[in-house]
Chains A and B, each alone.
Chain A
């Protein structure tokens, strides 16, 4: 056996070993993911998906299959899970009422927890925390508002600052450096039993 073919077979073994049969239960415990196990792989979600229509790499049917098959690390670390446009067409047309858009949100929440957050999430949190909105408002905006006789708006971030500090979202980002491993998934499914 050549060195090259040995390497290939190792890679293959690793992939097989990385399958996590408990991943699907981890998802069903997350809000939005409860109905994952109903999926029959009919492909209606992909058929109606506007993102899949222009880029077949984002395939909701395939994402669900990966979840059911336990491809935990591959899925959570994939940039594709952030391509969902949250249009809810899949929710409306799924014959099994899997609530696919909510399921994507559940997978995204788990990915964030395990070190694979959406791009620029940390910045987004900071802006919301200190400006109470995604687009900060200043005097310049208020001057423009006045031209159309719109009332002046003042940022009042005190309450949202407290909420963000107390929900623990920032700690999740700090601790999310833990790589995704089967031990973590095991602990979660242990807890489920």
Chain B
């Protein structure tokens, strides 16, 4: 299992805990991540301003992966959506394909057939498989109640993703959670957006949307929340204390990347999984897990 690893902008500077835990658990399953430091930003930040520039930047990345002949593994839902959409668009739109290839030609690159793009969680789900993951579970997380947050671009819009995830009822993250022995709970408005993209234009609106989800998760009695996108992490982990202060509420809901949760179940050292980098403290959760096994 060999993939070109697309880290994007947020992972290398703000989500070392995600990257480190993904590399650790991936290594155990024989997932070979080929680091390609020529990759740029995925292009998403300029999509709303100038669609052509977004396409060209995305195509530059896609062309690099295509030339290497490797599927592209992506960790951030934002990058995953932006690259998948550009890939689909360019496969079917000859005019725009010609436009981007004219821009890429002087750089010695070309978008031809496009590439297979896969989210890291889907690598675990599809390519490694639930059965194989089960074999590596050392600590059964029985009794731990987990609220999954899929994050929009992991499964929407359905037509740009080449997988069997139902865009109205995704299930892969629930199954990945349950293989650890933990319970994946459902809660009100489970598929609602984190609203991180709105933070830049209206922080006031964004945190109100973020608060709603934290309220629902608290009401459902979750021990923690599991995500797999560094942008969702900004809202639920980084902003959680801000929301608590602003609305005078208390959540203290730990927010773990799925790879961190899986790493704990595989008995990796919490520090190596970057758990000290999580903003909401995880000590109580770790003690609870320690007591189970």
- A interface residues (Cβ-Cβ under 8 A, vs B): 30-32, 50-51, 53-55, 58, 79, 82-89, 91-92, 99, 101, 104-106, 108-109, 112, 117-121, 124-125, 128, 132-137, 141, 144-145, 148-151, 153-154, 156-157, 159-160, 162-164, 166-169, 172
Contact = CB atoms under 8 A, between A and B. Distances in A.
Given A55-B208, A169-B49, A88 B156 contact: yes
B68 interface: no
B53 A85 contact: no
17 contacts: A83-B198, A86-B153, A89-B152, A89-B192, A92-B156, A118-B200, A118-B201, A134-B41, A141-B12, A148-B19, A156-B38, A159-B109, A162-B107, A163-B53, A164-B53, A167-B53, A168-B52
Interface of B: 7-10, 12-14, 16-17, 19-20, 23, 35, 37-38, 40-41, 45-53, 56-57, 60, 96, 103-104, 106-107, 109, 152-153, 156-158, 167-168, 191-193, 195, 197-198, 200-202, 205-206, 208-209, 212, 272, 274
B209 A160 contact: no
A127 to B, nearest CB: 9
Contact of A117 (B49, B200, B209): B49
A179 B198 CA distance: 26
Given A83-B205, A148-B19, A156-B38, 13 more contacts: A54-B205, A83-B198, A84-B197, A85-B197, A87-B152, A88-B153, A89-B156, A135-B13, A149-B20, A163-B57, A163-B103, A164-B53, A169-B49
